[in-house]
Structure 1
Amino acid sequence: PDQQVFKYPKAGENNSLVTLHVFNLQTNANKQVVLGEKAQYYIPRIRWGNGANTLVATTLNRHQNNLNLLFVDASTLNSWVVLNEKDAAYVDINDDLSFLNDNSFLWTSEQDGYNHIYHYNSQGKLLEQVTKGNWDVTRFYGYDEKSGRIFYQSTEDGSINRTIYSIKLNGKDKKRLSADTGTNSAAFSHSFDYYINTYADASTPYRYTLNDAKTGKQLKEILNNNAVAQTVSEYKISPKEFFTLKTPNNEFNAWMIKPYDFNPQKKYPLFMYQYSGPGS
């Protein structure tokens, strides 16, 4: 038999030490980038900015409640903090960083209690909170330079729904692109002229359409699952009933499927499950 040893971050012990390096293919030089962190930290994201001379790194402390967004000059390896986010509980990492042609950038953050889109200049100065409200941006699709519009998915039409919108960089002229209320997701063309919309709700199986990104107008139905819906309708299955559960401090979304021949005068056994993890 073979013995294999695996390292894992046991509570109370030091994490693995992580560092960032730049390797020069011409000189074979391997140089470390000093990120200025003294305590234990993670480097959850690394990517290039606009052009090949700016490297972008994200660091997160061990408690995961203090995040730094750093720019690194790939020639000198000098680094500086462009943006910092702190929270009493935790800061959720994301992949929504997007650079514009003028080197300003778009970033999503929960800093006001909801996940929204923010526009910063190249030095990290806030130019505009693009989206605002008691709802979350759930997907950031990108920015179209030629139209000056940002495309995103959000819960503006109810926390259990997902709707596609576009909005100007200054936070004005918002347009709802989704025709139907339910769960909509989009895959945009590189030019942001078109997108494939995937739609479903509690009674509609997935339907795929080609849409105009300017107006949201459906141009072509690619695929539907009407045959599946017809087959399901032939069975005695009660529909989902959506409701909210009130607690002393909050409200929670819930749904229930009752027996097909449900009698409110009778008592029934209840099977219940819930999820309280990340993203809930």
Structure 2
Amino acid sequence: MSDASNSSTPNQERNTENWFTSWFDTPYYHILYKDRNYREAQIFMDNLTHYLNLPEKAKVLDLACGKGRHSIYLNQLGFNVIGADLSENSIAEASKNSNETLHFKVHDMREPFEEKFDAIFNLFTSFGYFESDDDNLTTLKAIKESLSEYGFAVIDFMNVTQVLETLVPEEIKTVDDIDFKIKRYLQDGHIFKEIDFEDKGQHFHFTEKVKALTLKDFEELMNEAGIFLLDTFGDYKLKKFHKTESERLIMIFK
């Protein structure tokens, strides 16, 4: 999750209109989150593809794929994968791993694909970034339009209830000799994470901003989009979702 305004460009200092377009394109985003547990993510992919019983060589879309680590793993599992992301830098990096059954493209998740997929994965809280709530509905409709008749979609989101109960208001996280000063808070129905740090004599400020969507919120959006919610899970081992205890909100729909 993430939002950005770089203090080296003062006129953008507090512009969070499209924070994700700049923050995700910086090397600092990848430095800050370099310690993410990718083995856990691979176990999640194993469990998920097994649960969905995807056919061999199924067409899979990894929506908001970043640098494509999960697209690459899904491809290694034998699927025909497209990784899509708005960040041109991330897609350029991911594309170094392209092959006949693995491709990457710059794409806005609000736009449907012309081709249809057997599965669409939107992983690790890559939803709810937009300023307008209408864009969240537009994204769900785009996912629906990009699914084949028998296709499944998966959104892996934070469990907002649990996140707010355990929110750490302030901390300093040091990675690669950079001290990231982080503040977190809830405001106007969004969870904010403000990130300040200095590197090479320059000060940087970024703000992550994600809509605090609960399961009820998603159910209302999906109902409006004409989507059928099949199941919900609360962690990457696919244990059942528990409103107050689960770390994740994983939704399977078609």
TM-score above 0.5? no
Q: Which has the higher helix share?
A: 2
Determine which structure has more spread, i.e. the larger CA radius of gyration. 1
User: What TM-score results when the alignment is normalised by the length of structure 1?
Assistant: 0.23
Q: Which has the higher strand share?
A: 1
More contact order relative to length (CA 8 Å, sep ≥ 6): 2
